[in-house]
Amino acid sequence: MRRFGSFAAQCGGPAGLAGVLIVTVLVTVAVFAPVIAPFDPLQVSILDKLNTPDNIFWFGTDQSGRDVLSRVIWGSRASLMVAAGAVMIGLAVALPIGLVAGFYSGGWFEQATMRVLEAVSAIPTLIWGIALVGIFGVRSAVWGPFTITNEEKLLGLLGLLYVPTLARLTYASAVIESRTNYVAARRLQGAGGLRIMFSDVLPNCLSPLIVQATLLLAIGIVIEAAISFVGLGVQPPTPSWGNMLASAREYLLSGEWWLSVFPGAAISLTVIGFNLLGDGLRDRLDPRHTTSGITT
Amino acid sequence: MMFGMVLRRVAFSAFSLVVVSLLLFVLTRSIADSPARIVLGDQASEQQIAQFDRDHGLNRPIAVQYVTWISRLMLHADLGRSFTTGLDMNRQIRNTLPVTMEIVGIAFLVASIVSIGLGVLSALWRDSPIDYLARLLAVFGVSVPGFWLALVLILALTVERDWFPPGGFVPLSQGGLMEHLRSIALPVFCLSIFYLAVLTRMTRSSLLEVLDQDYMRTARAAGLHAGRVLLYAMRNALVPVITIAGVSFGHMFGWALIIEQIFNIDGMSRALLTAIQQRDYSMVQAVVMMFTLVFVIANLVADLLNSWINPRFAMAAS
C-alpha cells in the first residue's frame, strides 16, 4: 500500500494518478486497436444497421451497420496521432528557437525573435486550422516520393500553430538558466555554446515544457475532433471521433442517441485524462505555475 | 506614463496585425490554386488566364498586392471583392458577423459574470458546498467539448422534450424577444460553458493567492470593512482573469463556428465553410482576417483594462 501511495505522489496526487491511468488505458487501446476491437470498423452490414446497444454490439451500430465500439476504439488512433504528432512538431521547431533566443539574450536575434513570436501569438488556433486545411484541401497531397495524408497535414499545421506558445515558454526558462553560475562555469571549462545549450540549459528548462505539452495534447484532441466534425479533418470511412459525431448529427432528431453519445464520451474522457495528468505534473514539476492553463 | 503605455500597446497590436496578416496573405497566395483557374476552368488558355490576372491585379508583385490589400483594409475598412465569386465581401461579412457577434457577446458576458461571481464565492467560502460546486463545474466545463454537449442537449431538450427549437436562428424582428432568446439559449450555453469553467478556476485560485498575502492580513488587522478588503483584493486578483478573458473572447469566435454549424445558424461559420467549399480564397482570407482583428483587439482591451484597474500592471507592462 505504501508503494502505491508513493506512486500516486509521484503522479501529483490522486487526480494525477487518475490521469496517468486514463492516458495509459487510452494509449494501450490505440496501440492494440486491431486486437481489442471486436469487429472490423469498416465492415458494412446493412442488415445490422442502426442497432441499439445490446450484448453483441455494446455501443450499437451506425447507419451502415458498422460496430460503433470498434469505430470508437479505432478512432482513438487518429485523435492521439494528430494530438501527439502536433505537440512533437511544435516542440521540434520551438525548442531550438527558444533556446537560442534565451541563451544569446541581449542580442538582436533575441529581440527580433521574441517580438515576432509575440506578434504571431495573436493567431486564433482553431480558425487558422480550419481555414488553412480548407485552403490546402482535404485530399492527400503528393510531394515528391511522399504522400501526405490529411491527418498529417493537420498535425503539421497544428504543430506550427503551437510554436509561439512553446518557444516563448522555452525562452522564459532558458534566459534564466543561461545566467546561472553553472553555465558560466561550463563556459570557463571551454564548452561550446551549442553544447552548453543542449546538454546543460535544455534539461533544466524541460519541466514547464512537459506540463504545457500535456495540456496541448488535450487541446489537440478537441481541435482535431472539431476540424473533423466540420468535415475537414480525418476523412470517412476512416473513423475518428470528430467525423463520427458529424455523421451522428443526421440521426439526432430520430433519436439514435448512441451514435453521438459514445464518440463524444471518448473525447471527454481523453481530455479529462490529459488535463488531470497535466495538473498532476504541474504540481510536481512546476510548483511556481509558469505554464498557462487550458485555453484553446 | 499611462498615455505612453497605451500608445506602446496600440503600436504593438498594430505591428502584430501586420505580421499576422502578411503571414496569412502569403500562405493563401502560395497554397491556393490561382483564382483564374478556379473561375475559368481547366480549359482556359494561357492568354485568358493572363487577362484575368491583369484585370484583377494578380500579375503585380506579391508585395505590391499585399500593400494594396492591407492599406485598403486599414484605411477604408474595405475587404474588396472576391476574385472568385465577384461578390462584395464587406456585404457578406455585414450579413453574417452580427449574428455571430451577438451569440459570442452574450456567451462572453454570461461566462464572465457567472465565473467571477462563482470564483469569488468559492474562494471566500473555501471547502463549502458552493466551493465544491464551482470546482466540479470547472472540471466538467473544460472536459466536455461544447460541440458534443450541443448534440446531447439537442437530443435531451429538443427531441425528447420540446423546450427549445433544435436549431435555426430566429431574428429579433421576426419572432419577438421570447422566440429569439429561445433560439440562441442552447448555442450560448454550449459556447460559454468551457470559458465559464476556465475563468471560474482562474478567479478562485487568483483570489485565494491574493488573500494569502501579508498586505491583506494588514488590511484586515487595520479594521477595514470586509467589503473594502475584498475590493482591494479583487484589484490584484482580477489581472490574470482579465488577461485570460481577453484571450477567451477571441477563441470563442473560433468555437462559435462549430456551434453555429450544429444549430444551423447562419453566421460567419456558413460564410467561411461555403467559401472553403467554393475555393473562394479571398473570402477565406477576409473571414480569417476579421477573426484575427477581433482577437488582437480583445487582447488589447484586456491589457488596457488591467492597467486601468491595477497601476502596478501598467508599471510592469511599460
**Residue written as cell 445490446?**
A54
The three cell numbers locating residue B228 = 473594502
Helices (H), chain A: 2-10, 13-31, 33-36, 68-103, 108-120, 125-136, 150-177, 181-188, 193-196, 202-229, 241-248, 257-285
Number of domains in chain B: 1
For residue B244, tell me if it sits in a domain: yes
Inter-chain residue contact B288 with A127, CB threshold 8 Å: yes
The predicted structure's pLDDT at residue A45: 76
Query: How far, in Å, CA of B118 to CA of B137, rounded?
Result: 10
Mean confidence (pLDDT) of chain A: 84
Helix pair B226-262, A202-229: axis angle to 10 deg: 50
For residue B84, tell me if it sits in a domain: no
- Cα–Cα distances (Å) from B151 to A13, A54, A261, in that order, read 34, 22, 8
Q: Are A126 and A223 in contact (CB under 8 A)?
A: yes
Mutation target vs B (from A138, A160, A168, A222; most B CBs, 10 A cutoff): A222
Q: Are A61 and A51 in contact (CB under 8 A)?
A: yes
The minimum CA-CA distance between B223 and chain A, rounded to whole Å, is 32
Query: How far, in Å, CA of A99 to CA of A198, rounded?
Result: 8
Is pLDDT above 80 for A1?
no
Is pLDDT above 60 for B273?
yes
- A161 touching chain B per CB within 8 A: no
**Percentage of residues in chain A with pLDDT exceeding 90?**
26
The DSSP secondary-structure symbol of B163 reads: S
- B81 touching chain A per CB within 8 A: no
Q: Are B236 and B208 in contact (CB under 8 A)?
A: no
Contacts of B253 (CB under 8 A, 6+ apart): A124, A127, B100, B104, B268, B291, B294, B295
**Residue written as cell 486578483?**
B237
For residue B203, tell me if it sits in a domain: yes
Q: How many residues does chain A have?
A: 296
Query: How far, in Å, CA of B292 to CA of B19, rounded?
Result: 11
**B315 — pLDDT class (breaks 50, 70, 90):** low
For residue B279, tell me if it sits in a domain: yes
The predicted structure's pLDDT at residue A296: 40
The minimum CA-CA distance between B224 and chain A, rounded to whole Å, is 31
The predicted structure's pLDDT at residue A295: 41
Measured over the CA atoms of residue B228, residue B229, residue B232 and residue B237, the dihedral's sign is negative
List CB contacts (< 8 A) between B17 and chain A. Answer: 122
Contacts of A272 (CB under 8 A, 6+ apart): A19, A22, B139, B143
**Percentage of residues in chain B with pLDDT exceeding 70?**
97
pTM: 0.86
The predicted structure's pLDDT at residue A258: 87
List CB contacts (< 8 A) between A138 and chain B. Answer: none
The predicted structure's pLDDT at residue B45: 80
Residue of B nearest to A254 (CA): B159
Q: ipTM score of the complex?
A: 0.83
- The type of residue at A133 is V
Query: How far, in Å, CA of A265 to CA of B144, rounded?
Result: 8
The predicted structure's pLDDT at residue A293: 47
For residue B77, tell me if it sits in a domain: no
Query: How far, in Å, CA of B304 to CA of B300, rounded?
Result: 6
CATH number reported for the structural domain that contains residue B215 in this entry: 1.10.3720.10
Query: Which domain does B283 fall in, by range?
Result: 93-317
Nearest by CB: A135 against B23, B31, B250: B31
* Choice between B315 and A296, residue whose per-residue pLDDT is larger: B315
Average pLDDT over residues A26-32: 91
Contacts of A123 (CB under 8 A, 6+ apart): A161, A164, B20, B23, B292, B295
For residue B183, tell me if it sits in a domain: yes
Query: How far, in Å, CA of A68 to CA of A258, rounded?
Result: 8
For residue B69, tell me if it sits in a domain: no
For residue B19, tell me if it sits in a domain: no
Mutation target vs B (from A123, A163, A168, A216; most B CBs, 10 A cutoff): A123
- The type of residue at B297 is I
- A119 touching chain B per CB within 8 A: yes
Within chain B, how many helices (H) and strands (E) appear?
A: 13, 0
Residue-wise pLDDT for A250-284, tens only, equals 887 777 888 889 999 999 999 989 988 888 888 77
**A288 — pLDDT class (breaks 50, 70, 90):** low
* Choice between B160 and B101, residue whose per-residue pLDDT is larger: B101
Helix pair A202-229, A68-103: axis angle to 10 deg: 140
**B141 — pLDDT class (breaks 50, 70, 90):** confident
Residue of A nearest to B272 (CA): A131
Is pLDDT above 60 for A2?
no
Inter-chain residue contact A232 with B17, CB threshold 8 Å: no
The predicted structure's pLDDT at residue A178: 85
